[in-house]
Structure 1
Amino acid sequence: MQNNTASSATKANHQTVKMMNPMNYIGTANAKLAKHFWIRYGTEDSNTSVAVPTILAQKLKNAGVDVNYKLQWGTGHAGDYDMQAMFKWAEEITK
């Protein structure tokens, strides 16, 4: 919080912050979504809660797109969870 910082701080513009959150746009009339999403989350990721990608995946599903969402058990904030599976998935959806 700005009140708890020892140095001078400024807040980001409200509109800029809003634009950074896809949850504000998924399912709206002007949103153009990809047809397919690959989402992985490491269960030992300490950077964000498991709720964040779970809610994102569900909102995308509710918007009618294909979502391939899985938890990667015992993995932290790594990113490269199962690259071979992702490449196979990408190959299948682009045929």
Structure 2
Amino acid sequence: MLIGDAAHGMMPHHGQGAISSFEDAIALAHVINDDALSSMAAKFDAYERERKARGERIQTSSRSVNDCLHLPAGAARLERNRVLNELGRHFSWLHGYKIGV
């Protein structure tokens, strides 16, 4: 069973490396304590279903942000700056996440 950067190492642009580790630990604790899941294999499968898509989404988004943050001067950089001014709207999915809800 992997959690944290061992499961989904990511670039630092969202500041989510340690946060994802905490989310992983909480999600793992939830499934381990779930009496409806009869075996450890079922618990680990539930954990993976809970965490895999989110980890991949954060990784993909962080790579995109990396490319975006290193743009040369020009129209693309101006558009990036416009988007960055609306970060709360663009990344509410990242910072408003609730495990198991």
- By the TM > 0.5 criterion, same fold? no
Query: Between Structure 1 and Structure 2, which shows a larger proportion of helix residues?
Result: 2
Query: Between Structure 1 and Structure 2, which shows a larger proportion of strand residues?
Result: 1
TM-score after normalising by structure 2 = 0.26
TM-score after normalising by structure 1 = 0.27
